[in-house]
């Protein structure tokens, strides 16, 4: 699992994803075990990040169960890992990091 998370973070970092955070929510009654959040520069950047994840992770056996996207927020469901590619404005507006941090601490 650690290797999978590291691969995701590395890809996002290499492609200029910003403020990358990983939340361990195992055993916290959440829908996945890990959540990765990265800020995107714009909608084209989000698409580029999503595309690069597919290009690099599919050959490693990663299965993309679902991808939901719009101009401000893309969610990639890998089964036990969820990746959020989110605009800076939406990240500030929805406080996703605070929400996930609370879950990770077991307070949600």
pLDDT for 56-104, tens place per residue?
999 999 999 999 999 999 999 999 999 999 999 999 999 999 999 999 9
d(CA 70, CA 43): 8
- Sorted by sequence, the CB contacts under 8 Å of residue 70 that are 6+ apart come out as 43
Q: How high is the pLDDT of residue 35?
A: 98
pLDDT computed for residue 107 by the predictor: 61
Domains in the chain: ranges and CATH: 2-98 (3.30.460.10)
Give tens-digit pLDDT for 21-69.
999 999 998 999 999 999 999 999 999 999 999 999 999 999 999 999 9
């Amino acid at each position: 699992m650690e290797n999978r998370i590291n691969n995701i973070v590395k890809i996002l970092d290499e492609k200029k994803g910003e403020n990358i955070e990983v939340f361990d929510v195992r055993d916290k009654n959440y829908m996945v075990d890990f959540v990765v959040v990265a800020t995107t520069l714009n909608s084209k950047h989000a698409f580029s990040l999503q595309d690069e994840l597919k290009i690099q992770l599919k050959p490693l056996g990663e299965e993309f169960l679902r991808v939901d996207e719009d101009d401000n927020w893309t969610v990639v469901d890998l089964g036990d890992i969820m990746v959020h590619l989110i605009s800076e404005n939406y990240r500030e507006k929805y406080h996703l990091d605070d929400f996930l941090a609370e879950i990770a601490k077991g307070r949600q």
